[in-house]
């Protein structure tokens, strides 16, 4: 198993180095950045804050990684977050109790994922087009559920999901870490990961080898929906209310960015959930760093755009071809 | 014929790709006012030659002379400007534009920047009228049959080039009347003094339209012949690379008990537009060879039997019990395996490791929940790498980086890992080096000795003769002949492939 | 009949039927006043949707336009607030910037061979970020020129007002229709949507056309931003979030194939009007909530995408049946 660990380390090294450099830069400028305090049975401090605030994007990135590995994309996750947050808020205020509420919200996420998967795998619609439908309609559905207002609730149980703590860590951090580990184990301990990669690299050859690519596609979209649902619940629980307009807005883009920063190619195939999660943390560190630095948060988007551009250049097939040519000639 | 009549000539044209020499010092000449057929099996070098002529490939050595002057086309536009136009099998026009726009794209008549629609359509109509075609040019190209699309493509190519027209399998998806219509057009152009290079695997059509024939094999020139001095048998022999004299030295193998109940029975199975209904029994330990020219329906037979292109009629039984074959999964569940013709798009998963490619089919059959343990995966991979002598630095190397022969062996390993009862191999020895070639043939023999049944498609006839117990000959999407045991000779196969269509119906079986 | 006309005809029928339903329920909706408002309210969306139509026809997508509109509004507002320059040269400068911005995205798409959606996604971040950097607050615009433009209209029979910005949109549509369907550039755009490889083989200048398409989209997004600043008399960096989605929806509902190669610029106008009509109906009704707009648009999107997919499958099947002959 040692070889496996070494391979994993080599795979995620660029992401780890990037994260370390970013954190070190912030720490260098603001020596107090790494201070962590323990109070009220939980940890406080900027690093913990990164883990906490990065939860929604990290969760979305888990599902998005699998979808992108199959050469797909899920644009609807932000809207699905809004739907599931709205369902959770309205179910808890309607007095369904916490377990049933969570079940309903998570179930809605899976249903949204199944819908996307159906359009992609069965009707054969391009993923970007298929998930666009829910991206457009989803916010309307969420507003329908909240009836346009920000639906607030006071249930301590549900709020715990967003602002509670467990084992000294904020609950959102605990959730994304455990979901990340669970899904990573699921795909690597079973054959799911390999089959997903096979379908992503060459769907025709995989089908001819007996891989049920249709079912796999539906499964990854369902997982993506489930992750979005959990992210939606966290966001709603954190502010004790469901904001159908703004919950998860643009987060689909952050999630895609996290996956791309994590080194999974948009052209499908090899993927690493851990690398995507580090990618999500990189994005959150940049966000937090800008905040701590006292830069106006306005710069956030400009910096993100620069990151996307840099990665585009690095991942570009044209550049890849040139690199191979260089290696051949030298 | 004097040299001065050569419109287009190549001298010592050579093109090498990593691992293969696609064209080896080929001399070719085309005269004005002739239809010159270019023939050869897959990998013979036809398309490489065409691509060198049209600038899609840069040649490594040799000369191209157009009317005596050396030329060096850099791309298709360049070739067009020099006077060399090409029409491909898959119509290289835009189905979503109107016929007139396709004909005149980039050359639309304009007034103050705006396209003059009426003038454009008039000009398009005039262009097509020259080919006796009178259609509504304002409709989208895809509203018309492939034959008409081909004529539109020819009209565009000729109007832009005007000296040499290359027709690359233009008739592959046309019916008889459509071919006749296309040939009228081609004859008209020939009579106007164009030099026409015609590539087709339909020998009937070659005899009908061509004036001369150039045959290529394995990148080399085999010969140039006037069509009058050739018969079908001789032509097939040239293409497949053997002389009649050495034909009868070997025959196929016997030893299969055809009275015993077959392992598999295909009854009246077929698929419209792909392969006519056929009956086929598969016995234990039997190698069934499938012979036929490119496009004859040999690959379609394999895809149908594997469920990759599901049958729309007929039924299958396995050991007497009915068997459903609606998808590859069904077939794999029944113990089938299939190594497809096109390794790259349908066989290998290029970015994944040799190990993963080998365990893929086994893993897919077991389902995603029951993962093949990593230790077992390594064992399987290392075992097959050793047994089949797959040349790779290690099992974790991406399969895309291996040579063709080693990829083929890894694909065989993928199926052998599932312990199949019935293995279908489509062109298992195409494009691989001689050493791997011999090993794969040896393996086929070993496998059938162990009781496995195989169906092997190959264009290499002596290869088929060497290992087959039975050979099915496919032509024009019909199983036209079946040769058993002693009756299998390359001579007999060639005769069955070459027999004209009219005669075939009476003599089938 | 050409099956590719079907989505367009479906759009026209839906629009007419929807309008008749609205008219039956609220007779006041059939007035030039409502029509004038439809045009004015839909002006900025219509203009940007024309650019989006070109992008989608070529088989691409441009996610940056919503951000570019917001950036344009903020840019104009800041320039007018902080300098004494007349709005017209400011507009010229702005249009030059947004056109160059679009051209740069087109260049990256072509040279790096990256999917348009990820490149324009970066563009979306960048434009929105630049808007934030200029100002996070809503900046009111007060300038005599703005007052003049806002009160410029032509009184239609029936007291409806065809405002200058509404007329601008119609003019952009006319220009767009001519450019798409009557120029070599337009034919090249369709050619790219039909297949980049084939287009290249047929001599279409792929790189130049790609750059021009995204430059055009940038130009129209800038123009749309100017129109939006007239419409709201302000520049606000948080404005027009998600307008790229509305534009894409208008294009698809207008009968353009989302995979490219087939469609009509005129259809996009009807797509924009349908979206405006839904909003107007909801306003007239008074009891319905605004979120129904999104849901209905989503449903229309679904219907059109499935319709297009079915049409493609039928064409493909017909082609293969013909081959089987």
DSSP letter for each residue of A115-170? HHHIIIIIS---HHHHHHHHHHHHHHHHHHHHTTS-EE---HHHHHHHH-EETTEE
Q: A329 and A247 in one domain?
A: no
β B35-39/B195-199 pair status:
parallel
In this complex, is the C-beta atom of A309 within 8 Å of any C-beta atom belonging to chain C? Answer: yes
Q: With bands split at pLDDT 50, 70 and 90, how would you rate the model's confidence at B504? A: very low
Residue B488, pLDDT above cutoff 70: yes
Q: Give the pLDDT of residue A175.
A: 95
User: CA B172, CA C67: separation in Å to the nearest integer?
Assistant: 50
**Are A264 and A314 part of one and the same domain?**
no
Q: What is the pLDDT of residues A116-167, one digit of tens each?
A: 999 999 988 889 888 988 988 898 999 999 888 888 998 888 999 888 888 8
**Separation between Cα atoms, residue C173 and residue C250, nearest integer Å:** 13
DSSP-based three-state secondary structure for B478: strand
Residue A168 lies in a domain: yes
CATH number, domain B248-507: 3.40.50.300
- Distance from the Cα of A65 to chain C's closest Cα (Å) equals 15
- Two structure tokens written together for A38: 């323990």
The answer to whether the B3-96+140-241 and B248-507 domains have the same CATH topology is yes
Would you state the structure tokens that stand for residue B458, as one six-digit string? 């190959």
Q: Are A167 and A233 part of one and the same domain?
A: yes
Ranges of residues in chain C whose predicted pLDDT is under 50 = 323-325
Let me know whether A245 and A179 are in one domain: yes
CA dihedral defined by C71, C73, C78, C84, rounded to 10 degrees? 130
Task: Report pLDDT digits (tens) over B28-51.
Answer: 999 999 999 998 876 688 888 998
What HEC string does C234-293 produce? Answer: EECCCCCCCHHHHHHHHHHHCCCCCCCCCCCHHHHHHHHHHHHHHHHHHHHHCCCCCHHH
Chains that touch B (3 or more CB pairs under 8 A): A, C
Number of neighbouring beta carbons within 10 Å of residue C97: 17
C-beta of residue C62 within 8 angstroms of C-beta of residue C120: yes
Nearest-CA distance B438 → chain A (Å): 25
Please give the average per-residue pLDDT across B346-373, as a whole number.
92
Helix axes A127-146, C243-253, angle to 10 degrees: 120
**Model pLDDT, residue B245:** 40
Out of A142, A144, A312, the one facing C119 most closely (by C-beta) is A312
Domain of residue A306: give its range: 299-330
Instruction: Give the gyration radius of chain C's Cα atoms.
Output: 20
Which range, of A27-31, B328-332, C278-282, averages the lowest pLDDT?
A: A27-31
Mean pLDDT of chain A: 88
DSSP characters for B42-82?
TTSSHHHHHHHHTTSS--SEEEEEETTEE----SHHHHHHH
Kindly list the residues from chain A whose CB atom is less than 8 angstroms away from the CB atom of residue C129: 298-305
Q: A202 and B363: CB-CB below 8 Å?
A: no
Give mean pLDDT, residues B302-331: 92
Q: Measure C152 CA to nearest chain A CA, in Å.
A: 35
* Structural contact between residues A163 and A236, judged by C-beta atoms closer than 8 angstroms: no
* Mean residue pLDDT across chain B: 86
Residues of A with CB under 8 A from a CB of B: 189-192, 194-195, 197-198, 201-202, 204-212, 216, 269-270
Whether B248 shows a pLDDT value over 50: the answer reads no
Q: What are phi and psi of A19, to 5 degrees?
A: -60, -45
Asked if residue B330 has pLDDT above 50, the reply is yes
Q: Which of A198, A205, A211 minimises the CB distance to B347? A: A205
Determine, for residues C128 and A313 on separate chains, whether the beta-carbon distance falls below 8 Å.
no
- Residue A246 structure tokens: 């703004």
Closest residue, chain C, to B93 (C-alpha): C198
Whether residue C243 contacts residue C232, with contact meaning beta carbons closer than 8 Å, is answered with: no
Q: How many domains in chain A?
A: 2
What confidence score (pLDDT) does residue B505 get? 42
**Is the per-residue pLDDT at A172 higher than 70?**
yes
Q: Most confidently modeled of A201-215, B253-267, B451-465?
A: A201-215
- What mean pLDDT comes out for the span A91-109? 94
Do A196 and A219 lie in a common domain?
yes
Cα–Cα distance, A253 to A239 (Å, whole number): 22
What angle separates helix A213-239 from helix A98-117, to the nearest 10 degrees? 140
- The arithmetic mean of pLDDT across residues B293-321, rounded, is 89
Q: Which residue has the tokens 């052998």?
A: B416
Mutation to test the C interface, candidates A130, A133, A297, A321, most C Cβ within 10 Å: A133
User: Torsion over CA of C242, C248, C253 and C258, rounded to 10 degrees?
Assistant: -150
Give the per-residue pLDDT at C215: 98
pLDDT given for residue A228 in this prediction? 97
Identify how many contiguous H helices and E strands chain A contains and give both numbers: 15, 6
| Residue environment code for A59-75, b if the CB has 16+ CB neighbours within 10 A, otherwise e | bbbbbbbbbbbbbbbbb
Residue B453 CB partners (closer than 8 Å, separation 6+): B263, B264, B282, B283, B284, B285, B286, B287, B288, B421, B422, B423
Task: Give A97-109 as a DSSP string.
Answer: -HHHHHHHHHHHH
Contact B399, B349 (CB under 8 A): yes
Q: What is residue A85's predicted lDDT score, i.e. its pLDDT?
A: 95
Instruction: Report CA torsion sign: B93, B96, B99, B102.
Output: negative
B470 in Cβ contact with B460 (< 8 Å): no
Q: For residue range A288-305, what is the model confidence (pLDDT) as tens digits?
A: 888 777 777 777 778 878
CA distances to A198, A272, B361 from B337, in Å: 18, 31, 9
Q: What is the pLDDT of residues A258-295, one digit of tens each?
A: 998 888 888 888 999 999 999 999 989 988 888 777 77
CA B244 – CA B285 distance, rounded (Å): 31
The stretch B123-134 carries a mean pLDDT of 92
Residues in chain B: 509
| Residue tagged 């030059």 (tokens) | C96
**B1-10, B101-110, B499-508, C286-295: lowest mean pLDDT where?**
B499-508
Closest residue of C to B77, CA-based? Answer: C203
**B244-247 long-range contacts, Cβ below 8 Å, gap at least 24?**
B244/B491, B247/B489, B247/B490, B247/B491, B247/B494
Q: Which CATH class is domain B3-96+140-241?
A: alpha beta
Residue B444: name the closest of B286, B327, B328, B313 by CA.
B286
Q: Give kind and range of the element (H or E) at residue B28.
A: strand B20-31
Q: Which parts of A5-131 are beta strand (E)?
A: 37-39, 42-44
3-state helix, strand, coil in chain C (%, to 5): 75, 5, 20
Which residue among A135, A306, A312 sits closest to C118, beta carbon to beta carbon?
A: A312
CA distances, B390 to each of A27, B337, B426 (Å): 52, 19, 19
Q: What is the nearest CA distance from A195 to chain B, expressed in angstroms?
A: 7
B94/C202 touch (CB, cutoff 8 Å), yes or no: yes
Please check whether residue A105 lies inside any domain of the structure. yes
Q: Are residues A313 and A246 in the same domain?
A: no
CATH among 1.10.357, 2.60.40, 1.10.1060, 1.10.3470 for C3-318: 1.10.3470
Cβ atoms of A66 and A187 within 8 Å: the answer is yes
The verdict on residue A157 lying in a domain is yes
Numbered residues of chain C with Cβ closer than 8 Å to any chain A Cβ? 61, 108, 111-115, 117-119, 121-126, 128-130, 132-133, 136, 237, 241, 245, 248-249, 258-259, 289-299, 301-302, 305-306, 309
Tell me the pLDDT tens digit for each residue of B194-216.
999 999 877 888 899 999 999 99
Domain membership of residue A46 (yes or no) is no
Which residues in chain C touch residue A143, judged by CB atoms under 8 angstroms apart?
289-291, 294
Between A and B, how many residue pairs show a Cβ–Cβ distance under 8 A? 78
Alpha-carbon gap, residue C83 to C76, rounded angstroms: 10
Work out the number of other CB atoms within 10 angstroms of the CB of residue A82: 31
Residue with tokens 């205020």: A93
Neighbors of chain A by Cβ distance (3+ pairs < 8 Å): B, C
Q: Assess whether A168 and A304 both reside in one domain.
A: no
Backbone angles phi, psi at B159, to 5 degrees: -65, -25
Residue B136 dihedral angles phi and psi, to the nearest 5°: -75, 105
Arithmetic mean of pLDDT, B391-420: 89
H or E element in which residue C154 lies = strand C153-155
Two structure tokens written together for C63: 């996610």
Crossing angle for the helix pair A299-315 and C87-112, nearest 10 degrees? 30
Going through B286-444 in order, the beta strands assigned E by DSSP cover 287-291, 313-318, 321-323, 336-339, 422-426
Query: Could you give the CA distance from residue C153 to residue B81 in angstroms, rounded to a whole number?
Result: 54
Domain annotation covers residue A47: no
The confidence score (pLDDT) of residue A223 equals 97
| DSSP-assigned beta bridge partners for residue B6 | B31
Q: Which of A135, A143, A142 is nearest to A116 (CA)?
A: A135
Residue B509 is predicted with a pLDDT of 37
Report domain extents, chain B: 3-96+140-241, 248-507
For residue A216, give the chain B residue with the closest CA.
Answer: B368
A17 pLDDT higher than 50: yes
């Amino acid at each position: 198993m040692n070889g496996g660990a070494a391979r994993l380390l080599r795979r995620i090294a660029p992401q780890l180095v990037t994260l370390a450099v970013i954190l070190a830069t912030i720490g260098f400028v603001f020596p107090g950045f790494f201070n962590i305090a323990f109070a009220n049975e939980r940890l406080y401090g900027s690093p913990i804050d990164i883990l906490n605030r990065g939860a929604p994007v990290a969760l979305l990135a888990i599902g998005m990684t699998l979808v992108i590995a199959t050469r797909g994309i899920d644009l609807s996750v932000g809207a699905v977050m809004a739907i599931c947050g709205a369902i959770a808020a309205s179910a808890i205020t309607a007095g369904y109790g916490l377990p049933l509420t969570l079940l309903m919200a998570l179930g809605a996420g899976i249903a949204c994922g199944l819908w996307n998967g159906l359009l992609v795998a069965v009707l054969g619609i391009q993923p970007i087009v298929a998930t666009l439908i829910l991206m457009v309609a989803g916010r309307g559905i969420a507003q329908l559920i909240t009836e346009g207002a920000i639906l607030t609730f006071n249930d301590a149980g549900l709020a715990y999901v967003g602002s509670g703590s467990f084992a000294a860590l904020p609950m959102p951090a605990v959730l994304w870490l455990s979901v990340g580990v669970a899904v990573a184990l699921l795909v690597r301990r079973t054959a799911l990961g390999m089959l997903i990669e096979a379908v992503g690299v060459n769907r025709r050859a995989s089908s001819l080898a007996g891989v049920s690519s249709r079912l796999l596609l539906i499964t990854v979209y369902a997982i993506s929906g489930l992750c979005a649902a959990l992210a939606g619940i966290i966001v709603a629980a954190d502010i004790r209310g469901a904001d159908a307009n703004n919950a998860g807005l643009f987060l689909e883009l952050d999630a895609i960015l996290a996956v791309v920063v994590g080194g999974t190619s948009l052209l499908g195939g090899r993927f690493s959930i851990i690398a995507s999660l580090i990618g999500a943390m990189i994005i959150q560190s940049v966000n937090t760093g800008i905040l701590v630095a006292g830069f106006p948060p306005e710069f956030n988007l400009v910096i993100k755009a620069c990151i996307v551009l840099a990665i585009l250049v690095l991942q570009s097939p044209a550049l890849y071809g040139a690199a191979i040519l260089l290696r051949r000639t030298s | 014929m004097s040299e001065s009549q050569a419109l287009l000539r190549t001298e010592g044209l050579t093109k090498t790709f990593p691992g293969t020499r696609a064209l080896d010092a080929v001399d070719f000449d085309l005269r004005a006012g002739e239809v010159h057929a270019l023939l050869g099996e897959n990998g013979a070098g036809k398309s490489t030659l065409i691509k060198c002529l049209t600038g899609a490939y840069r040649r490594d050595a040799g000369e191209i002379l157009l009317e005596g002057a050396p030329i060096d086309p850099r791309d298709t536009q360049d070739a067009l400007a020099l006077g060399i136009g090409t029409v491909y099998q898959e119509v290289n026009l835009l189905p979503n534009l109107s016929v007139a726009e396709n004909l005149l794209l980039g050359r639309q008549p304009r007034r103050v920047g705006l396209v003059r629609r009426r003038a454009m359509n008039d000009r398009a109509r005039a262009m097509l009228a020259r080919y006796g075609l009178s259609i509504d040019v304002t409709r989208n190209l895809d509203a018309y049959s492939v034959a008409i699309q081909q004529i539109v493509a020819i009209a565009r190519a000729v109007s832009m080039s005007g000296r040499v027209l290359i027709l690359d399998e233009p008739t592959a998806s046309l019916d008889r009347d459509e071919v006749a219509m296309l040939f009228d057009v081609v004859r008209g152009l020939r009579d106007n003094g164009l030099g026409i290079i015609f590539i087709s695997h339909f020998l009937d059509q070659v005899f009908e339209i061509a004036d001369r024939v150039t045959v290529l094999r394995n990148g080399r020139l085999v010969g140039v012949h006037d069509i009058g001095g050739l018969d079908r048998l001789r032509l097939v022999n040239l293409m497949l690379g053997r002389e009649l004299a050495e034909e009868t030295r070997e025959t196929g193998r016997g030893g299969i008990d055809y009275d015993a109940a077959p392992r598999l029975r295909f009854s009246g199975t077929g698929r419209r537009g792909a392969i006519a209904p056929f009956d086929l029994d598969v016995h234990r330990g039997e190698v069934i060879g499938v012979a036929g020219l490119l496009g004859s329906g040999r690959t379609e037979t394999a895809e149908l039997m594997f469920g990759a292109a599901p049958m729309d009629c007929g039924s299958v039984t396995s050991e007497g019990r009915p068997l459903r074959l609606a998808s590859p999964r069904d077939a794999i569940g029944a113990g089938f395996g299939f190594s497809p013709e096109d390794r790259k798009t349908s066989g290998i998963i290029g970015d994944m490791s040799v190990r993963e490619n080998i365990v893929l089919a086994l893993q897919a059959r077991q389902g995603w929940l029951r993962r093949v343990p990593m230790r077992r995966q390594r064992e399987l991979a290392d075992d097959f790498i050793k047994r089949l002598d797959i040349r790779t630095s290690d099992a974790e190397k991406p399969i895309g980086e291996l040579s063709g022969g080693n990829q083929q062996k890894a694909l065989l390993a993928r199926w052998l890992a599932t312990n199949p009862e019935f293995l279908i191999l489509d062109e298992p020895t195409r494009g691989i080096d001689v050493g791997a070639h011999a090993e794969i043939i040896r393996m086929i023999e070993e496998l059938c000795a162990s009781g496995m049944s195989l169906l092997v498609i190959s264009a290499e006839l002596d290869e088929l003769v060497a290992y087959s117990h039975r050979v099915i000959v496919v032509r024009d999407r019909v199983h036209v002949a079946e040769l058993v045991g002693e009756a299998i000779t390359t001579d007999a196969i060639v005769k069955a492939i070459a027999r004209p269509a009219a005669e075939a119906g009476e003599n089938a079986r | 009949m050409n099956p590719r006309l079907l989505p367009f005809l479906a759009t026209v029928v839906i629009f007419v039927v929807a309008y008749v339903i609205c008219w039956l329920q609220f007779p006041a909706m059939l007035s030039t006043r409502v029509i004038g408002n439809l045009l004015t309210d839909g002006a900025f969306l219509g203009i940007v949707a024309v650019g989006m139509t070109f992008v989608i026809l070529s088989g691409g997508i441009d996610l940056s336009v919503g951000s570019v509109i917001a950036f344009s509004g903020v840019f104009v507002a800041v320039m007018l607030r902080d300098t004494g320059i007349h709005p017209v040269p400011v507009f010229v400068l702005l249009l030059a910037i947004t056109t160059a911005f679009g051209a740069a995205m087109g260049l990256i798409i072509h040279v790096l061979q990256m999917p348009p959606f990820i490149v324009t996604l970066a563009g979306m971040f960048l434009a929105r970020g630049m808007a934030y950097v200029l100002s996070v607050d809503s900046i009111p615009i007060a300038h005599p020129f703005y007052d003049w433009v806002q009160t410029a209209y032509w009184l239609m029979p029936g007291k409806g007002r065809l405002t200058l910005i509404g007329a601008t949109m119609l003019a952009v549509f006319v220009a767009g229709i001519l450019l798409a369907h009557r120029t070599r550039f337009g034919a090249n755009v369709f050619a790219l949507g039909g297949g980049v490889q084939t287009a290249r083989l047929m001599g279409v200048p792929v790189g130049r056309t790609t750059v021009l398409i995204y430059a055009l989209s940038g130009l129209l997004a800038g123009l749309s931003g100017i129109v939006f600043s007239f419409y709201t008399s302000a520049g606000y960096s948080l404005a027009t979030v998600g307008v790229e989605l509305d534009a894409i929806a208008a294009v698809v509902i207008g009968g353009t194939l989302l995979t490219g190669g087939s469609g009509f610029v005129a259809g996009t106008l009807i797509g924009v009007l349908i979206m405006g009509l839904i909003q107007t109906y909801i306003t007239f009704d008074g009891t319905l909530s605004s979120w129904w707009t999104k849901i209905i648009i989503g449903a229309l999107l679904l219907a059109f995408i499935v319709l297009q997919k079915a049409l493609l499958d039928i064409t493909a099947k017909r082609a293969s049946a013909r081959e089987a002959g």
